[in-house]
Structure 1
Amino acid sequence: MRPHLGLVCVTVSNDVKYRTITRKRLLEHALESQQKLLDDIYRANIQTLDKALRYCEREDIALYRIPSSIFPFADDDIGRALLAGFAPALAQTGTRAREGAIRLVMHPDQFVVLSSDSASVVANSVKILQMHADIMDMLGQPRTSWALLEIHGGKAKRADALLERIAALPDAIRCRLGLENDEYAYGAAEIHAICLRCGVPMVFDAHHHIVHEKLDSYDDPSVAEMLARARATWAVPEQQLVHISNGRASFNDRQHADLIGTMPAAYAQAPWIEIEAKFKEEAIRGLRGWQAAAR
C-alpha cells in the first residue's frame, strides 16, 4: 500500500481557511456580544471543516489535521457551553469523515506542557487537551490513536513527571495521545523510551531528528532505525503516523520550507505522513510521483 499523505489545517489557496478572534478583541465586547461572535465563528468553522473534508475527498487526501484553534476559547466556560450546542452538526461532520475514509487528527498548541514544573501550566495543559478530546468525541472519532492527539514532550529532563501526568489523564485524552520527538528537549531516542514506558505511540518526525542529531542526510541509518522503532510503539502498526518537512534556508534549518524537495527513503514504508510544508496542498501535489513509486 502506498503511503497516505496528510493535509495540515489549511490550504495555501483560499479553499480551506478558518475564522478566529483574539482574546483582546473578544473582551472588548459585552458577554452577550462575545457569545454571538463565538457562535458565528463556530458555525462558520464547522462549515469550513466540512469544506476541508470535501476538498480532501476531491484531492484524494486520506488524512486531515484539524486546526487546534478551530473553536477559539472552547477551553473556557463561554466557549465550552456554546460548542456543546453544535454537537449534532459535528456528529454529521464526523460521519462525513468516516464515509469518506478520511482520518482526523489534531496537534494541540505549544501551551500544552504536561512535563512543566508549574501546577497551573499542567492544569491548563489538561484543560486544553480535554477540549481537543471533546471535539473528537463530538465528531464520533474512536478513543484510539487512529484519532491522534499529537503533543511534544515539553520541558526537558522531566520524563518521570511526563509519565506521571500521562497516566493520570482521562481516557478520552490518554487513549488518543501520541508523543512527537522535537529538535531540542526530547530527541527521537528519548521520546521513544518515554513512549515505551507510558504505552503511547511515537510520532516520528525525521526533520526534527536530523536537526537534533545534526545529521546531513535523511538517509542516515538512524532515520530508518527510528522509523522502525517508532512503529513498534503503535498498537496497530498500519496506523503509524510520521511527519516530514524540509529546512527553509539550509538542510538543518528548523524553519519549514515551502515544499518538500527531499524525502527520507525509509518513508516509502511509512503508512501515514503529515506534510508540514508552508505551501500545504502544493507540497502534496509535488509528492504524488514519489507517493505512487513508494513501496
Structure 2
Amino acid sequence: MTIFRLGYVAMSVHLQNASPSQTMTYRQFSSIKDKEAAVKKLERIAISNLDNCIRLLKHNAAHEISFFRFSSKIIPLANHPEIEAWNYIRPLLPKLNELGEIIKKYKMRIDFHPDHFVVLNNSQSEIVKASLKTLQMHEKLLRGIKIDPKHRCVLHVGGVYNDKEEALEQFIVNWGIIPYRLQKMIMLENDDTNFTFNETLYLCEKLNIPCVFDLHHHMVHNDGEDWQDHWERAIDTWKYSKLPMKIHISSPRSGQKDRAHADYIDYELFLDFLKKVNHTIPMLDCMIEAKKKDDALFQLAAELKNQPGITFIDGASFTINGV
C-alpha cells in the first residue's frame, strides 16, 4: 500500500498579504542614490518574503500539510551582476533559522522549482554560468535553512535548439562541468513542449538524476507511449535518494491538450492515476500545480475523502485500500 502525500506551490489564497515573492527592479534599486540604503531596502524585502514563508509554513502545519514548494523569488536581485558584492544570506540567517526549525519540528519536505531561464543544456557558456549562479543561490538558501540540498531543485531539460538528440547530448556534456554540490540538488521533469517522459528518463538514468513525472505534461506532449510502460524506470531513478519519489499534478484548463493549468484538480483523473501506481512504492509525494494553490489542495482532499476505500492519515496524506 502506498502513502500519498499532497503539497502545493509557493503561496496561499487563504492567507492575506502573504506574498513570498515581493520584489524590486534593478531600475528602482539604481534610482536610490545611497547604495547602502538601497541594499538595506533589498534586505527588508527579502526579510518580509521570509516572514511570509514562515506564515505559510505555520498555515501548512495547522492544516497538517507537510509538503511545500518555496518560491524562487524570495531574494530580489540576488543574482544581478551589478550587485555581486551583496552578501544577501548573512542578514537573512535569523529568519532562515526560524524556517528550518519549523520544517524540522513538523517533518516537512520542502523544495524549489527554479524559473525557466535556468537552462543546463545550452551550448553558450554564459547562459550555463548564469543558470549555475541561480542554483548556487538556491543552495545557499537551503544551507541557511539547514536542509540537505540533495534533490531539492526541479528543472526541465532545457531547449531543443533545432536538434533534440544534440540537445540531450549537450546536457550530458555540460553536466560534466557542473560542481557536484549543485549536481546533487537537481531533479529532472518531463515538460509539455520539448522533452517527453521517455527522453527525460534517458538523462536521469544515464546521470543518476531522480525523475519527476508530470502527468499533465505527458498528456500534452508524448511520442505515443504509455506512461505506465516507463513507471518502474522512473521509480528506479529514486533509488539513491533519501526522499520519497515525487510527481507533479495539474489539470488542463479546458481540453485534454491544453497546456495551461486549471484552478483546481480533476480528482477523477488524479484518482485513476493513483489507483494505477498504488502498491508500486511505499510513498509518493504529489505536488499540486493549480492556480488556486492551497484551496486546490483543500478541495481535492475533500473530494477524495468522499471516495470509497480512501483513508486519510492527516490533513494531506492518505492511502487507497482494496485496489
Normalising by structure 2, report the TM-score: 0.83
Q: Distance in 2 between matches of 1:51 and 1:202?
A: 30
Match of 2:247 in 1: 242
* Partner secondary structure for residue 213 of structure 1: coil
What's the offset of the Cα at 1:45?
1.2
1:245-284 equivalence runs, <5 A: 245-261=250-266, 262-263=269-270, 265-268=272-275, 269=278, 271-284=284-297
Q: Distance in 2 between matches of 1:212 and 1:83?
A: 39
Q: Distance in 1 between matches of 2:12 and 2:256?
A: 24
Q: Distance in 2 between matches of 1:54 and 1:247?
A: 30
Question: What letter matches 1:153 in structure 2?
Answer: V
Higher relative contact order (CA 8 A, sep 6+): 2
Q: State the structure with more CA Rg.
A: 2
Q: Distance in 2 between matches of 1:237 and 1:184?
A: 30
Q: Distance in 1 between matches of 2:70 and 2:98?
A: 16
What's the offset of the Cα at 1:173?
1.7
* Partner secondary structure for residue 271 of structure 1: strand
* Partner secondary structure for residue 168 of structure 1: coil
| 1:17 matches 2:19 | yes
Superposed CA deviations along residues 33-89 of structure 1, whole A, max 9, x for unmatched, are: 321220111111111111111011011111110101011122244585132232243
Picking from 22, 26, 29, the partner of 2:29 is 26
Indicate if the aligned counterparts of 1:211 and 1:253 stay in contact, CA closer than 8 A: yes
Indicate if the aligned counterparts of 2:197 and 2:222 stay in contact, CA closer than 8 A: no
Match of 1:7 in 2: 8
Question: What letter matches 1:168 in structure 2?
Answer: I
Structure with higher helix content: 1
Q: Distance in 2 between matches of 1:21 and 1:59?
A: 32
Match of 1:290 in 2: 304
Q: CA RMSD in A?
A: 2.1
Question: What letter matches 2:19 in structure 1?
Answer: K
Normalising by structure 1, report the TM-score: 0.90
Question: What letter matches 2:52 in structure 1?
Answer: T
Question: What letter matches 1:11 in structure 2?
Answer: S
Question: What letter matches 1:64 in structure 2?
Answer: F
Rate the CA distance shift 1:153–1:80 in 2: closer, same or farther, 3 A: farther
Superposed CA deviations along residues 237-288 of structure 1, whole A, max 9, x for unmatched, are: 8611100111112121000000001315233536101000001111101221
Q: Distance in 1 between matches of 2:201 and 2:13?
A: 33
Which structure 2 residue ranges, 5 or more long, are not aligned? 312-318
Indicate if the aligned counterparts of 1:214 and 1:252 stay in contact, CA closer than 8 A: no
Rate the CA distance shift 1:80–1:168 in 2: closer, same or farther, 3 A: farther
Match of 1:218 in 2: none
Picking from 66, 73, 80, the partner of 1:62 is 66
Picking from 116, 119, 125, the partner of 2:131 is 125
Count of matched residue pairs: 288
